[in-house]
Amino acid sequence: MMLFFHKLLPIIVLPLGLACALLLLAFLGEKQRRRLILAALVLLYVASMPVVSDALIGRLEDRYPAQTIADCAPADAVIVLGGILSPNHAGLDFPSWGEGVNRFTVGVSLIRAGKAGAIVFSRACYPWEKPRLTEGDLLKVQAIAMGVPAEKIVLTPLVADTADEARAAAALCREHGWKHVLLVTSGWHMPRAVWLFKHAGVDFTPFPVGFQRDSRRPRTLLDFLPSAGALSTTETALRESYGLAYYRVFGPR
């Protein structure tokens, strides 16, 4: 039940959901109708500006800067967090990759570069889902196809969120005797992952990937015009910030 509220509650406080709520209120009553409609439009416009989305996602990504595989210090294992495949992935040999595909490709590259002796994929699955194969099962097939020995691939038990992944990683470290691991996830997701893995007692080095903001790109007029992609990035940043705040209040101590 807590997972249900944790995943769905942010929807009503994100720009798109909040704008819909304002428009619904305007539709249901005459009072303040114009102000409600204007507030909804302003909210959507501001949230859809690339300059806003870059600022929000940058606050998360800048906490743990990118590093190179060559300069990365070796560790016992690579922990690759889930959220890599699209929900409508097609099959074992041709999955549909999602936004987090860099988590997989960089994790495999770290193993192939000899930076660790094992790689961990998450058998991610929400409690209300009953997949025949989890994401971790499918990623194992892909990693083997890319030359990673099967004996170097470890799958977690079933996990539903990042908190579950942190607990599973801690258990695997104890089971295999891993002292230090590399934590691979998207740059904007790394602050929440770091907080949870620290509280789970895992000794790790953050290895963020898949950055969405290019701080070197000069600003143009287009950065102040609405964009569907920018709105999506804004919602990602706000949802992640909400998730971090949630765990700080209700998470492990």
- Per-residue pLDDT of 98-118, as tens digits, reads 889 999 999 999 999 999 999
Sheet holding 77-80, edge to edge: 153-159, 119-124, 77-80, 181-186, 204-209
The angle that helices 228-250 and 15-28 make with each other, rounded to 10 degrees, is 100
Helix (H) or strand (E) holding 181: strand 181-186
Helix (H) or strand (E) holding 206: strand 204-209
Q: What is the 3-state secondary structure (H, E, C) of 77-118?
A: EEEECCCCECCCCCCCCCCCECCCHHHHHHHHHHHHCCCCCC
pLDDT of res. 1? 46
Matching residue, tokens 């934590």: 183
Which regions in the chain score pLDDT beneath 50?
Answer: 1
pLDDT of res. 207? 98
Please, what are the domains in the chain?
A: 2-62+227-250 (no CATH), 77-209 (3.40.50.620)
